[in-house]
Structure 1
Amino acid sequence: MLRLIRGLPETAPPTPRVLGVDEFALRKGHVYATILVDIETRRPVDLLPDRRVETVARWLADHPGVEVICRDRSGTFAEAGRLGAPAAIHVADRWHLWKNLSEAVEKTVVHHRTLLPEPPASPSAPTEALVLPPEEIAGPRRSGRLSDRVREQHATVHDLLREGTALRVIARRLGLARNTVRRLAHAKDPDELLVGRWSGRVSILDP
């Protein structure tokens, strides 16, 4: 039955007017491919074996009719669109806009956390319930979204460094700013990046 099904002719989907382009990891940090989606019908159109400019541009050239390319801020997909569908309009999708915005806000708050004023004590709870003992305040945060992400990025960056990968290549591959990659590379332990004025405090936002 499977052989019969596989033997059936495959009908090629029509070229979408609004094409979504994004990468996905076959092996995180090592092997990436590209998924193409019809944004208007929300159906996958094709999977490309890599995320190179030539591969995406060739697909666009072979499938004329794309009017809008919906993508992230990747320079690779921007160049591919310019070569393969020069008349298409490029737009950012909502998911990447929210992701970039949340990362920018979080990065700014973390960078300037020492300038933020201490929150007033809650009238319904004693101050002691919000603050850890002094000896624990200086320690790095061990859990939470920021902590988990920093530890994962630190491990990935150092794995790539051991393979001889340059910082510029690592930044492009992980989609991080080069200064961020440099800080991760220079830190022997991720805890060095997680020590801050508020890093040991209990917050009502923790849950």
Structure 2
Amino acid sequence: MSRSTLLRLIRALPDPAPAVPRVLGIDEFALRKGHVYATILVDIETRRPVDLLPDRTVESVRCWLADHPGVKIVWRDRSASYAEAARLGAPDAIHVADRFHLWQNLADAVEKTVLQHRALLPEPQPPSSPARAVVLPPIAAEPRRTGRLSDRVREQHAAVHALRQDGFSLRVIARKLGLARGTVRRLARAKDPDELLVGRWTGRTSILDP
């Protein structure tokens, strides 16, 4: 037979059904960032994709797990939706927080804490030996105002105020930007984004104080 016929016959064969993974990774990905998200399912042990779901809802993930029994470990981020879906669809599976999201959550928490309490950090002690002293630039008392968190706050603050000037309500702005109404309200009330980065938390007691 010809090459074209052979390829046509091969393409006509049904795809083999993938085996249900013992360790299933669940995560979201953006089809249109900030607007449309879907879910990818990965066999963690073979590192191969298993399936794609058209959204990231509890029902979609729950139905997939219910239709594919045998998952022993669910490897996921800390999303409440995926946690609920796994609890309903695979009630006997063990939940594991994956390493990437643990590091990401830790980095975000540390960055936010340092920004909040930077003004309270003491100045460094002068070196004990003048002969080996290294001249360092003075550290300002003001908190650091650059970085992922502060940049994100500045961008959101500018976007909220631009939409407010166009006459949009807080509800509409929250829907357009994909933010909670409380977050939009705080951004709208702040005249300067630095108020959101420092002023609100300076001097406030925290479980980290001890």
Same fold per TM (> 0.5)? yes
Q: Please, which runs of 5 or more residues in structure 1 have no aligned partner?
A: 172-177, 197-207
Query: Which of residues 121, 124, 132 is equivalent to 1:119?
Result: 124
Query: Which of residues 80, 83, 87 is equivalent to 2:88?
Result: 83
1:150 correspondence with 2:159: no
Distance 1:164 1:70 in 2: 34
| Greater RCO structure (CA 8 Å; 6+ sep) | 1
Query: Which of residues 166, 179, 193 is equivalent to 1:170?
Result: 179
Q: Please, which runs of 5 or more residues in structure 2 have no aligned partner?
A: 128-132, 164-168, 200-210
TM-score normalised by L of structure 2: 0.70
1:65 aligned partner: 70
- Give the 3-state SS of the residue equivalent to 1:46 in structure 2: strand
Query: Which of residues 16, 30, 36 is equivalent to 2:35?
Result: 30
8 Å contact kept, 1:140–1:191: no
8 Å contact kept, 2:115–2:198: no
CA apart distance, 1:190: 3.4
From the superposition, tell whether residues 184 and 19 of structure 1 become closer, same or farther in structure 2 (CA, over 3 Å): farther
From the superposition, tell whether residues 140 and 36 of structure 1 become closer, same or farther in structure 2 (CA, over 3 Å): same
Percentage identity across paired residues of the two chains:
69
Distance 2:160 2:54 in 1: 24
RMSD of aligned alpha carbons: 3.3
Aligned pair count reads: 180
TM-score normalised by L of structure 1: 0.70
Larger radius of gyration: 2
Distance 1:95 1:140 in 2: 26
Distance 2:121 2:143 in 1: 19
